[in-house]
Amino acid sequence: MKSIKAVIFDMDGTIFDTERSMAIIVRDVMMEFGYNPPNFIEWYYQNASGNRDDVVVGKLVKKFGIDINQTVINRFNEYREAYYIAYPPQVKEGFFELITFLKSKKIKIGICSNSKRPQILNKLQLSGILMGDFDIIIDGSMVEKPKPYPDPYLLACKKLGVKPKHAIALEDSDHGVESAYRAGLVPILIPDVQVNSPEKKALAKHIVKSLDEVIGIIS
């Protein structure tokens, strides 16, 4: 794929092995407030992974009838921050190898996440990844419509100054793959905790097991 000028990473589940911990964090806070739905972790993987916080809240309220007020949200943010200080985000296999390769080829690098910017920067800092490794960071607050809408990736390409067809999107979730596909990028799926649907898997140009496999695709 010689025409690739940019590679854009999703964050949770793609750069970091954090979808599991996010499910645990949400469950633990729910339990503090008296909610303990059965099979919650599995439900979270399939229904909440890859979504922006406000969308996750809406799904929780609709599915479980939970009263998620500002007190609950504040506790969630507090608990999440403390959790990642105690258990720093683990970087996914092949990330550093891929970053080194992209820099050597002068390919632009971005992050496009539904997470809020402070969450992104906190996870980068705690994991030892340098902000300078990325040319742009698109967070969920920068667009009105988050993934699976195309808006985040369209903004990422605009900020990078590349046409979507010349950019690869690295994603683990159905929402992310759909967002990248609808924006006209080349989606590459690296499956994580979510069992990806056949329909969304079909949108991916490639499906790989680890990030370093992307090097062979670009070379």
Q: Could you report the per-residue pLDDT of 22-75, keeping only the tens digit for each?
A: 999 999 999 999 998 889 999 999 999 888 989 999 999 999 888 899 999 999
Task: State yes or no: pLDDT of 11 exceeds 80.
Answer: yes
Task: State yes or no: pLDDT of 2 exceeds 80.
Answer: no
Structure tokens at 18: 């954090």
Biggest CA-to-CA distance, the chain: 54
Task: State yes or no: pLDDT of 96 exceeds 80.
Answer: yes
DSSP type of residue 164: G
Task: State yes or no: pLDDT of 204 exceeds 90.
Answer: yes
CA 26/CA 32 separation, integer angstroms: 10
**Which among 24, 30, 2, 1 has a CA at the least distance from the CA of 12?**
24
pLDDT value of residue 203: 98
Contact 167, 155 (CB under 8 A): no
pLDDT value of residue 65: 87
Q: How many residues does the chain have?
A: 219
Which CATH code, of 2.10.240, 2.40.50, 1.10.150, 1.10.3470, is assigned to 19-86? Answer: 1.10.150
User: What is the band of 10 on the pLDDT scale with cuts at 50, 70, 90?
Assistant: very high
Supply the DSSP string of 3-20, one letter for each residue.
T--EEEE--BTTTBS-HH
Q: Could you report the per-residue pLDDT of 160-178, keeping only the tens digit for each?
A: 999 999 999 999 999 999 9
pLDDT value of residue 66: 86
Q: What does the domain layout of the chain look like in residue ranges? A: 6-17+90-218, 19-86
Least confident of 37-41, 87-91, 92-96: 37-41
Topology of 6-17+90-218 in CATH?
Rossmann fold (3.40.50)
